């Protein structure tokens, strides 16, 4: 037991001496840099560029504007029958509420995944609106489904709509 007391006392003295040796040195190390002046090196830049800028003539290759009558005659808008119900204007309904989501091929038959008036489902080349599906407007027929190009063609009121996957 006496040996253990001596060993503890020795360990305490050694730890105190080790801790005392780790204290900082109170001397400050000051260097006077007021007389130090660095050399100023001027970079030597050679200008190899010659003024080869030549003024080029601008050639105007813009297409002239088309007059208003030609544009208005080429665009279809509005109803075919002015006395028809507003719900009968199917072409506008097709553009606003018809969405194409993707394509599926089952047994070499191409189908398109679509949404129309909050109804989702598959349509194929045999789909006719109002007859065998409610996923396209009444009277509309699916003409072509081309999954490679991500396009379907729908015929409505003697007008063909090309719908691309976005």
Identify the structural domains of the chain with CATH numbers, from first to last.
88-164 (2.30.30.830)
Which range, 14-28, 61-75, 84-98, is most confident? 61-75
DSSP letter assigned to residue 128? B
User: For position 91, what pLDDT does the model report?
Assistant: 47
Total-model pTM: 0.44
pLDDT digits (tens, 9 = 90+) for 99-122: 888 888 888 888 888 888 888 888
Please state, for a pLDDT cut of 90, what percent of the chain lies above it.
Answer: 2
How far apart CA 11 and CA 1 sit, in angstroms, is 15
- Nearest CA to 157 among 96, 78, 91? 91
How far apart CA 8 and CA 114 sit, in angstroms, is 86
């Amino acid at each position: 037991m006496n040996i253990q007391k001596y060993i503890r006392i020795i360990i305490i003295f050694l730890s105190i001496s080790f801790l005392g040796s780790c204290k900082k040195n109170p001397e400050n190390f000051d260097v006077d840099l007021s007389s130090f002046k660095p050399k100023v090196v001027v970079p030597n830049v050679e200008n190899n560029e010659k003024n080869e800028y030549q003024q080029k003539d601008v050639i105007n290759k813009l297409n002239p504007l088309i007059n208003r009558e030609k544009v208005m005659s080429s665009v279809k808008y509005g109803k075919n029958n002015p006395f028809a119900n507003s719900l009968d204007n199917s072409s506008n309904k097709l553009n606003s509420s018809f969405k194409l989501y993707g394509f599926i091929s089952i047994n070499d038959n191409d189908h398109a995944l679509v949404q129309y008036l909050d109804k989702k489902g598959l349509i194929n080349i045999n789909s006719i609106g109002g007859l065998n599906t409610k996923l396209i407007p009444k009277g509309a027929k699916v003409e072509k489904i081309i999954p490679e190009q991500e396009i379907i063609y729908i015929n409505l009121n003697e007008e063909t709509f090309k719908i691309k996957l976005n």
